[in-house]
Structure 1
Amino acid sequence: MVRHNNQLPDNLPQLQNLIKRDPDSYKDDFHQQYQHFLSSLEVFALNPGEENKSLDELVMFIAQVAQCYPKECAKFPQHLVDLLKNHATTLDPIMRNCFVKALILMRNKNIIPAIDLLELFFQLLCCPDKNLRSFLQNHIITDIKNMNAKHKDMKLNSTLQNFMYSMLKDANPKAAKMSVDIMIELYKKNIWNDAKTVNVIATVGCFSKIMKVLVASLKFFLGHDDDEKGSDDSDSDNEVDLKGAIMQNRVNKKTKKRKKQLEQIKKQAVKAQKKKKNAPAFNFSGIHLVHNPQGMAEGLFKQLQSTNERFEVKLMHLDVISRLIGIHELFLFGYYPYITRFLQPHQRQVTRIMQFAAQASHELVPGDIIEPVLKTIANNFITERNSSDVMAIGLNATREICIRCPLAMSEDLLRDLAMYKTYKEKSVMMAARSLIMLYREQLPALLHKKDRGRLTEAQAERKIRAYGEVEVHETIPGAEALLKDSKEIDLGSEDDSDSDSNDGEWVNVSHSEDEGKNEGDNDEEDSDDDDDDEPDADESEEEDGSEDDEVDDDTSDADEEDKEHSGSESEGNVTSAKKKSLAVENSSENEGVQVLDAKEAAQELAMTRIFTEEDFKRINAAQLKKTVTNARKRPLEKDRAEFVKLNSIEMIYKKRKHDKESRLETVKAGREDREKFGWKDGRKNEHCSKTNRENRKRKNFVMMRHKARSKVKKSFRDKQKAMRKHLLHQKKMK
């Protein structure tokens, strides 16, 4: 059967549609178009720099229907690959994009393997076409993501990773930079978030001679863990949007469109609610997965000393090295003298350099190594010749370093810095007091007697660790609370501490070792020890500026407590006996009552019993009560974090200038309780009528146009003409 008026050879979209429906019936038509493609390709290869629209249409047509004729199109991808390899830079940009899109289309249909296409795309990076390079990068990331959508193909990923790593060492800077960007993006998308990817970036990318690759690799290790701060805000916004949409649907006119919109908003709210219930997923930053952090830190420090790059790149080196030292607790003693050179008030980005010094501090670094850093900050920043802001920043930086390495502070330097607690500027005064509060918790012996404050029970139980000493808990801290009577601990009542210590079955045993040592001592030694260990400073000294009053309060407190101690020596033996006799009753297993030490009893309790959630609540409440008893109303929490926040160094207690938004908020807040003086139109009574002049403003302009014309001011010439006309008219009337 011969088809008359056959327009299929000229109408490729129609032929494409028919082939996808019935490939066998239109096989001859496809074969004809394929032969036409081969002949057009030979002609195009003679002059690849010119655009050929017919070839463009044929390539896209064959790529669309290639899955219907796999045998006939077996060599079609290779024709395009060869053309791109041989004429990558000389091809017309439109034709080159056409060939690339055709190959990507066939890759999405699994006609071409991923490795072959990746090799070609990385070779195309030498083309001077930025849009093409970004397009290829997005395709590679999307393709690898789709291959690992259902399950991770470890064999394929390993092959692709090895190819990426080889491209990272490529001499072409564009190819190396693109491979780094792809690996970093795949790590962020949790596709290649393994230690192999991280360590290749650490060993190859961070030491690359190509500056763009080096900077991208350093930025990768400077990335924090993603804290979803806006999750709560977004959830609350979704709830508000849902309530608003429901309210609008009640008030507005009912239409199908609005009904669909309301259903979509409800679905989104349900999804957001499901996300809330899901368990949170934690992604560690890449710096935790480095296999050889010590070697990486030493290599980066050596590279930093020999580089002549701009200052921003040096800051990146310093930041990465400080994080490696702080997180992995490394030893790199040459880092601290190097960073000391930049600690000057006029230095650019000096607060960030202080941040790096704090991040590189940890407990295993000897205090003699970090002490020169503290002295440099004290000499260059914490002096009265500088402004108050500079002094406060220096004290804040000193505090952040001492949080991580308290042994770096010497006694003389600490007492000198503590004298700024009565400084005239509030920013300096508050920074000095924060340093005093830190050492009240860590090493109160370094402070002056009047600055130590009253010890809490938690501080009294805390053991001051020497350099390199590790605190090992033999039992759960605070398990002694379970040995007391099963009554609730009320943190809000002030008399609770006295009732627990006197009426309870067990009392605080934090000083049992000291009492055992002092049993054989004479009365004079006991009184001396009590005077030395006596807390002498109240919390009120932080608010009072005079030191003489503080000393008087200290001596009076010490005298009163000495009298109480001397009058209760006879009762001391009884209380010490109670502290040492701890009874554990268990009617089913133990028939008698054993007298044990409190720690041994708590340890045995932890070994023989599974603690419930209620038990842990009691332990936490007892531990919290120890931080409040006999001291400040709120406990000081100074836990060592992985990264130092720049805000903790730059934070200055100072009244800042308000911006426009905050000023408007204060203005509106002041207007809330104020009486209204009138309305915008001048009426003091809202129920009175308006004047004709006010009503005229509301009318349409067309209605008032004739009156607006008469109010236009005349020029001097028009006035002369009008006057002359008026005078002539008067003469005629006479």
Structure 2
Amino acid sequence: MGKQHSNRGALLTSNLPQLQNLIKRDPQAYRDEFLQQWNHFQSIQRIWKLQSDMADDSHHFRELVSFIAQVAQCYPEQTKEFPNELATLLRDNYAGLTPELRRSFMQNLVMLRNKEVITSLDLLRNLFPLLPRTTSSSLRSFIRTTILTDIKTANARTKNHKLNRAVQAMLFGMVEKDMDAEVQGDRGKIRGSSHPDTSTPSTKGVEALWAVLLTKELWKKGIWNDAKSVSIMALGCFHPIAKVQSASLHFFLGEEDEEEESDSEEEGPDIKALQHRRGINKKTRSGDKKLAKAEKIARKKRKENNQEAIPNFPAIQLLHDPQSFGEKLYDGLLRYDKRYSLDHKLLIMQLLSRVMGGHKLCVLGFYTYVMKYLTYHQLRVPLILVSLAQSVHDLTPPDALVPVVRKIAQEFVHPGVGPEVIAAGINAIREICKRQPWCLSEEDGGQELLGDLVEYRKSRDKGVVIAARSLLQLYREVNPGLLKRRERGKGASMGMAAGAQPLPYGHQRATTDIDGLDLLESHLNKIKGEDDGDERMSDDEAGWENWDVESDDESSESEGGWMDVDSDGEQEFDLSDSEDEAPKNIPEEPKQDEPKQPPTLATTKILTPADFALLQELRIKEAQRAVDSGGGSHSKRRLAQLEAHRKATAMTTEDDPSAGIVTEANILGVRKKSKATYEERMASIAKGREGREKFGSSKGKKKKAVMSSSTNKEKGRNKPMMMVRQSSAVRAKKMASIKEKQKRVRAHIERAKKSYH
């Protein structure tokens, strides 16, 4: 029996998959065989620590580790230290391990987590330090996917706050690790090496970069959306490594970073590589088609990326101390101005302006700093003007904006520049004045400047005219007193005559006076009255049952009793359920000498977005009713304005969430259509040929009721001039005498007289 057992052990030792299958079926029966393999693993592990270069035994060692990981849950007492030993072996000897061993060890750790031998936190603690040390792109992608999938699975049903707090603490420590290092700018860096790939473990900023990228990915997937994740990204905005700072800035701006684009699996084709290959290889039609298809896909990908560039407003709102955050951004921008490239400084300026506009902060030094970039020949100047306009709000001191507005007017709006520059300058001033109208005032000479800008509405360029008219319309609404009398318009002049004054600086207008609020109030009262009426009807029907019995048991005085009413019906009833409500079945007519009371709905109810949508529909219905009853041109204009406003609101809420912010299109304004390229002209020609026969003309054939050829007269109209000159009719006219010509003229006159009469 002992010989048979020894033979079986020897057989199973050389066949680990079979032994693994048998152990899973009956762990206790094969306990000795497992202990034999376990001791073998311990001995190899000790040898490995003394001599890490054992490439010959790597295959056997990999199979042995996989075997123990598969059956570890069957012998928890013996293998309780196995995960720690495996993690230590992977961490301490990472550089000496072969790529196959690294992947195998990581996969076994993931399998132990799936079998619940170790927790998610233990797995993540072992994987996070390995991520920046990995040089293989496939292995790095495996680790990244494993981390994201494990955190997503842990938060699938409910938020795993314990795991999230622990992982966020690890990521925060990874970002905070190199915060004391020297600031390294991105000016003059090699653009091609932007991938977070590193060959040495001591490279600074790699751990912080991966922490930022993982936090950004978890936020994008909706797994983390709390303030702690925002704190990690906010700390990354002040990291001394430019890559980490750029990735954090892109998170708040909602844009794709270079590191993310290189790691994305859905990246478009490399057009430059295809064009280079096309120039080397043999020229074929199929190659041209492949290149054109790749360029089309790349253009579509770029268009989608541009459409998704929406600022991350929820993250900006979750900032812990926005004022300190904005001041630190400005201090870094000012201190390291010469170390950062223009693109990097633009990222900081964009985020600073978003924070200032979103939280209504006052970082007054920013307006002084940005003035040196306000020249029409400055690179990326439209984006600089966007950042400037976005930073302004109704609490920004006008004194800080007066020099900025004058600098824009001096640099952009004068006859020495092109119409596109003038339009951009006027649009930028309009966006600033829209947020703070008092940056142009009579005390600072703003009235003369505004008059000069408004005069550009007489320009020949369409973009300049639209920009000047939009500025004129803005001040007709907010402060018509700064405009000349002939420029104020009828509505603004009547408002000033009635005593309307512009809202002073720092004040906000009350929202009780909302156009059409009485319509909403009457509509809600009508709905409430119908609901109350249905309830009263059901109560009355139930109350009329056995009415004679109830009337005998209870006195008429306690129930109100019977009331004597006149036959004419002059007595009015109050059938409401509440004593505080007025009778709804018989509304009272307002007296002629008493004015109508203003609606109190705005002061008694918080209006929701659904209420405002209902209010908009009620306004349109009322305007349509006025038009149908013959309201005139005024009613038609009001209906058109309301419908346009509804369309714009629908586009803002559904298709374009960024419609409320300033973009480069708002600054550049309307531009002339550029001349079509050769490819665009050929595409237009091909589109016009669709649905048409390839050759020949259909004239005289398919367009007639009876198909036939053309007549000789129709053919004569299309003959060349050289053939017509040789005809007998033309030669007879040329050779005709004076008498014949006079005869033809008289005949023509006679025919003309007859046709006239």
Structure 1 length-normalised TM: 0.64
Matching residue of 2:15: 11
Matching residue of 1:291: 320
Q: Deviations over 1:491-539 (max 9, x none)?
A: xxxxxxxxxxxxxxxxxxxxxxxxxxxxxxxxxxxxxxxxxxxxxxxxx
CA RMSD of aligned residues (A): 4.2
Matching residue of 2:74: 68
Q: Is the alpha carbon distance of 1:453 and 1:211 closer, same or farther for their aligned partners in structure 2, counting shifts above 3 Å?
A: same
Out of 40, 44, 49, the residue aligned to residue 48 of structure 2 is 44
Q: Is the alpha carbon distance of 1:631 and 1:383 closer, same or farther for their aligned partners in structure 2, counting shifts above 3 Å?
A: farther
Contact between 1:49 and 1:92, CA under 8 Å: does it hold in 2? no
Contact between 1:361 and 1:405, CA under 8 Å: does it hold in 2? yes
Amino acid across the alignment from 2:465: M
Out of 148, 152, 164, the residue aligned to residue 145 of structure 1 is 152
Query: How do 1:605-644 and structure 2 match up within 5 A?
Result: 617-619=617-619, 621=621, 634=641, 643-644=661-662
Contact between 2:175 and 2:236, CA under 8 Å: does it hold in 1? yes
Out of 424, 437, 441, the residue aligned to residue 473 of structure 2 is 437
Q: Distance in 2 between matches of 1:359 and 1:598?
A: 44
Q: Is the alpha carbon distance of 1:25 and 1:616 closer, same or farther for their aligned partners in structure 2, counting shifts above 3 Å?
A: same
Query: How do 1:541-556 and structure 2 match up within 5 A?
Result: none
Residue 345 of structure 1: how far off its partner (Å): 1.4
Matching residue of 1:197: 229
Q: Distance in 2 between matches of 1:443 and 1:318?
A: 30
Residue 356 of structure 1: how far off its partner (Å): 0.3
Q: Is the alpha carbon distance of 1:327 and 1:224 closer, same or farther for their aligned partners in structure 2, counting shifts above 3 Å?
A: farther
- SS of corresponding position for 1:383: coil
Q: Distance in 2 between matches of 1:351 and 1:334?
A: 20
Q: Distance in 2 between matches of 1:603 and 1:311?
A: 54
Please say which of residues 450-459 and 315-324 is displaced more in the overlay.
Answer: 450-459
Amino acid across the alignment from 1:375: R
Q: Distance in 1 between matches of 2:612 and 2:363?
A: 45
Out of 317, 323, 330, the residue aligned to residue 348 of structure 2 is 317
Q: Distance in 2 between matches of 1:662 and 1:586?
A: 70
Matching residue of 2:729: none
Q: Is the alpha carbon distance of 1:17 and 1:646 closer, same or farther for their aligned partners in structure 2, counting shifts above 3 Å?
A: farther
Residue 446 of structure 1: how far off its partner (Å): 2.4
Q: Is the alpha carbon distance of 1:672 and 1:392 closer, same or farther for their aligned partners in structure 2, counting shifts above 3 Å?
A: same
Matching residue of 2:448: 412
Q: Is the alpha carbon distance of 1:223 and 1:607 closer, same or farther for their aligned partners in structure 2, counting shifts above 3 Å?
A: closer
Residue 591 of structure 1: how far off its partner (Å): 6.2
Q: Distance in 2 between matches of 1:49 and 1:621?
A: 84
Contact between 1:323 and 1:360, CA under 8 Å: does it hold in 2? yes
Contact between 1:441 and 1:459, CA under 8 Å: does it hold in 2? no
Contact between 2:113 and 2:120, CA under 8 Å: does it hold in 1? yes
Q: Distance in 2 between matches of 1:324 and 1:41?
A: 55
The answer for unaligned runs of 5 or more in structure 2 is: 179-203, 257-310, 441-445, 525-581, 650-657, 708-757
Residue 135 of structure 1: how far off its partner (Å): 3.3
Please say which of residues 97-106 and 380-389 is displaced more in the overlay.
Answer: 97-106
Q: Deviations over 1:561-589 (max 9, x none)?
A: xxxxxxxxxxxxxxxxxxxxxxxx96668
1:389 aligns with 2:393: no
Residue 423 of structure 1: how far off its partner (Å): 1.2
1:652 aligns with 2:681: no
Out of 365, 369, 383, the residue aligned to residue 334 of structure 1 is 365
Q: Distance in 2 between matches of 1:386 and 1:130?
A: 54
Matching residue of 1:564: none
Q: Is the alpha carbon distance of 1:289 and 1:463 closer, same or farther for their aligned partners in structure 2, counting shifts above 3 Å?
A: farther
- SS of corresponding position for 2:12: coil
- SS of corresponding position for 2:20: helix
Q: Deviations over 1:349-402 (max 9, x none)?
A: 111000001101111112222122221111111111111222222222222222
1:106 aligns with 2:112: yes
Q: Is the alpha carbon distance of 1:356 and 1:587 closer, same or farther for their aligned partners in structure 2, counting shifts above 3 Å?
A: closer
Contact between 1:396 and 1:649, CA under 8 Å: does it hold in 2? yes
Contact between 1:411 and 1:447, CA under 8 Å: does it hold in 2? yes
Contact between 1:63 and 1:105, CA under 8 Å: does it hold in 2? yes
Contact between 1:218 and 1:317, CA under 8 Å: does it hold in 2? yes
Residue 326 of structure 1: how far off its partner (Å): 0.7
Residue 435 of structure 1: how far off its partner (Å): 2.1
Amino acid across the alignment from 1:13: P
Q: Is the alpha carbon distance of 1:215 and 1:415 closer, same or farther for their aligned partners in structure 2, counting shifts above 3 Å?
A: same
Residue 122 of structure 1: how far off its partner (Å): 3.4
Please say which of residues 139-148 and 402-411 is displaced more in the overlay.
Answer: 402-411
Residue 621 of structure 1: how far off its partner (Å): 4.8
Q: Is the alpha carbon distance of 1:592 and 1:134 closer, same or farther for their aligned partners in structure 2, counting shifts above 3 Å?
A: closer
Q: Is the alpha carbon distance of 1:648 and 1:147 closer, same or farther for their aligned partners in structure 2, counting shifts above 3 Å?
A: same
Amino acid across the alignment from 2:454: A
Q: Distance in 2 between matches of 1:606 and 1:591?
A: 23
Please say which of residues 387-396 and 657-666 is displaced more in the overlay.
Answer: 657-666
Please say which of residues 475-484 and 12-21 is displaced more in the overlay.
Answer: 475-484
Amino acid across the alignment from 1:153: N
Structure 2 length-normalised TM: 0.62
Contact between 1:169 and 1:176, CA under 8 Å: does it hold in 2? yes
Please say which of residues 94-103 and 635-644 is displaced more in the overlay.
Answer: 635-644
Structure with the larger RCO, 1 or 2 (CA within 8 Å, 6+ apart): 1
Q: Deviations over 1:183-223 (max 9, x none)?
A: 22212222221012212422x22222233222222111111
Q: Is the alpha carbon distance of 1:294 and 1:598 closer, same or farther for their aligned partners in structure 2, counting shifts above 3 Å?
A: farther
Q: Distance in 1 between matches of 2:691 and 2:62?
A: 73
Out of 192, 198, 211, the residue aligned to residue 179 of structure 1 is 211
Residue 341 of structure 1: how far off its partner (Å): 0.8
Matching residue of 1:602: 599
Out of 390, 409, 430, the residue aligned to residue 359 of structure 1 is 390
Contact between 2:175 and 2:232, CA under 8 Å: does it hold in 1? no
Out of 229, 235, 240, the residue aligned to residue 209 of structure 1 is 240
Residue 437 of structure 1: how far off its partner (Å): 2.7
Q: Is the alpha carbon distance of 1:113 and 1:338 closer, same or farther for their aligned partners in structure 2, counting shifts above 3 Å?
A: same
Residue 167 of structure 1: how far off its partner (Å): 2.4
Matched residues, number: 530
